[in-house]
C-alpha cells in the first residue's frame, strides 16, 4: 500500500546536492498534525558544512512551527538500509524522543526502529 511519507522521502531524495559523495539521501518527517516536511542532503566543498537529509527535514519542520513528530522516513539507494548518522540521531532525540524511524531503499524494502533504540543512554536537556 502506498505510504505518502515514504513517497515524499523517495521524491525529495532526487533533489540531493551530493557532488562529492554521490550518495543521495531523502528524509520526510510527519508532525503531530499530519503535515509532512522534507529534506535532502546538501553537501559543501568544505565537506564539514554538509547537512544530512534528516537534520534538514527536522529543521525545516521546526521553522514551520511544528514541535511534535510521529515518524521520519530515511530513503537511500543501499541494499543494507541506511540509518541516520550519530548527529542526526541526537537531533531526532532532542525533538522527538519517541519517534519511529523508517528506513527505505529504492526497491521498497523497509525497516522500522525507535530512536531510543538507535541512541541508547542519550544526553539531553534533562541532564542540564
Task: List the interface residues with ligand THU, window 55-114 (CB under 6 A).
Answer: 74, 82, 84-85, 88
Site residues (CB under 6 A) for ligand THU, limited to 10-29: 18, 21, 23, 25
Least distance in Å: CB of 17 to ligand THU?
8
* DSSP per-residue string spanning 57-126: HHHHHHHTT---EEEEEEEES-SSPPPPPHHHHHHHHHH-TT-EEEEE-TT--EEEEEHHHHSTT---GG
Check residue 122 for interaction with ligand THU (CB under 6 A): no
Region from 2-10, 51-59, 90-98, 106-114 binding ligand THU, contact rule CB under 6 A? 51-59
* Angle CA 108–114–116, to nearest 5: 150
Q: Which residues bind ligand THU (CB under 6 A)?
A: 18, 21, 23, 25, 41, 43, 50, 52-54, 74, 82, 84-85, 88
Amino acid at each position: 500500500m502506498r505510504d505518502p511519507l515514504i513517497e515524499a522521502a523517495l521524491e525529495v531524495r532526487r533533489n540531493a546536492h551530493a557532488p562529492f559523495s554521490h550518495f543521495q539521501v531523502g528524509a520526510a518527517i510527519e508532525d503531530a498534525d499530519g503535515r509532512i516536511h522534507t529534506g535532502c542532503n546538501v553537501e559543501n566543498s568544505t565537506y564539514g558544512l554538509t547537512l544530512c537529509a534528516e537534520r534538514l527535514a527536522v529543521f525545516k519542520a521546526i521553522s514551520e512551527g511544528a514541535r511534535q513528530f510521529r515518524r521520519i522516513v530515511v530513503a537511500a539507494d543501499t541494499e543494507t538500509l541506511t540509518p541516520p548518522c550519530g548527529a542526526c540521531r541526537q537531533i531526532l532525540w532532542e525533538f522527538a524522543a519517541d519517534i519511529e524511524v523508517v528506513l527505505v531503499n529504492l526497491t521498497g524494502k523497509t525497516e522500522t526502529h525507535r530512536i531510543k533504540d538507535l541512541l541508547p543512554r542519550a544526553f539531553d536537556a534533562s541532564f542540564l
